């Protein structure tokens, strides 16, 4: 256990310019006292680790020091070789590079691991495409990618969810793939960080001004907290209904944002009580109407009346159309 931890510390020190004992302790789930003992152990075997005191201090390696770490565990080799999303890699122009890198990794492995490692490629495949594949067009994706690496400010034209379009100057911080969709993370001039659906960026133009990404910004941490905040603030429209048993397996395969909160016991007249929640009343109306006579709303009562009016309007429309 300690040997694995020392290797982990060395890898972290090699990948970061400086890191504090507190940060190491949190990442490795040990106490700071343990980290200090580990640093003494690394120093004792000739690894040039140094501690800088002060507010911006921390542990670092002697400049220019590198070590080749062999002895990867088999599970660690598997983790490196699990196939990532081919679609997302292609979006980033890294598909061929990823294949080449994995081939090189396999070639560098000891013989006893090589064949087994190749099988990881054949037994686990990750596909982030939806069943009805409809790739979103991102007109400025190359510009967004380049701006992230060059830390170049951008002027973008963005279409909001309400359909309105505006221009703004942003500082690119990263790209996040959610399923098969890309989101562009950037801060506005006032420092506020926002998420932009990349397909809604109508154009992006670099301006002759660079910026520095905040040293304490972590894209994964930001995205996780942003996602959690989004979910907590989603509106909820709850519906109590009864459904025919034949549609029960299909309730969540409709393309609507529906959540099944509760499924009750079948009643004497063969209906099954369910509690459903939607983001909006409009989504609930269209969802229920789509199942015709296989689902009936118990409450809210006003939803019953609105669905009835929608159904009557549909019938009248087709009567006129077919005359």
Q: How many separate helices (H) and strands (E) can be counted in the chain? A: 11, 11
Tens of pLDDT along 278-307? 988 999 999 999 898 999 999 999 999 999
Tell me the two tokens of residue 243.
């459904």
**The overall pTM is greater than 0.85:** no
| Model pLDDT, residue 205 | 94
What pLDDT was estimated at residue 119? 77
Does residue 55 have a pLDDT over 60? yes
Helix, strand, or coil here: 186? Answer: strand
Among 65-69, 92-96, 193-197, which is the least confidently predicted range?
65-69
Residue 94 and residue 79: Cα distance in Å, rounded?
19
For 152-171, the pLDDT digits (tens) are 999 999 998 888 999 999 99
- How far is the CA of 17 from the CAs of 20, 65, 240, in angstroms? 11, 12, 57
Q: Residue 93 has which token pair? A: 């122009």
């Amino acid at each position: 256990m300690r040997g694995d931890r020392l290797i982990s510390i060395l890898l972290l020190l090699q990948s970061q310019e400086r890191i504090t004992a507190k940060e190491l302790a949190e990442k490795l789930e040990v106490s700071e006292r343990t980290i200090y003992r580990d640093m003494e152990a690394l120093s004792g075997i000739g690894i040039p680790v140094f501690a800088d005191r002060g507010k911006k201090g921390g542990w670092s390696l002697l400049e220019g020091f590198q070590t080749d770490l062999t002895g990867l565990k088999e599970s660690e080799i598997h983790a490196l070789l699990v196939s990532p999303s081919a679609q997302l890699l292609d979006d980033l122009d890294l598909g061929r590079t990823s294949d080449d890198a994995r081939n090189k990794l396999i070639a560098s492995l000891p013989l006893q691991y090589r064949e087994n490692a190749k099988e990881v490629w054949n037994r686990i495949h990750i596909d982030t495409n939806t069943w009805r594949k409809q790739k979103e067009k991102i007109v400025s994706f190359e510009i967004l990618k380049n701006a992230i690496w060059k830390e170049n400010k951008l002027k973008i034209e963005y279409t909001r969810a309400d359909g309105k379009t505006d221009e703004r100057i942003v500082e690119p911080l990263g790209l996040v793939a959610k399923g098969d969709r890309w989101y562009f993370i950037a801060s506005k001039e006032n420092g506020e960080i926002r998420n932009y659906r990349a397909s809604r960026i109508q154009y992006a133009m670099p301006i002759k001004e660079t910026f520095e990404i905040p040293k304490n910004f972590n894209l994964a941490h930001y995205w996780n907290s942003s996602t959690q905040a989004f979910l907590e603030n989603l509106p909820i429209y709850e519906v109590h209904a009864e459904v025919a048993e034949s549609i029960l397996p299909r309730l969540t395969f409709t393309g609507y944002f529906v959540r099944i909160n509760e499924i009750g016991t079948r009643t004497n007249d063969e209906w099954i009580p369910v509690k459903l929640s939607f983001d909006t009343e409009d989504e609930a109306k269209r969802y229920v109407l789509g199942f015709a006579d296989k689902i009936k709303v118990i409450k809210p009562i006003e939803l019953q009346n609105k669905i009835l009016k929608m159904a009557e309007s549909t019938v009248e429309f087709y009567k006129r159309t077919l005359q």
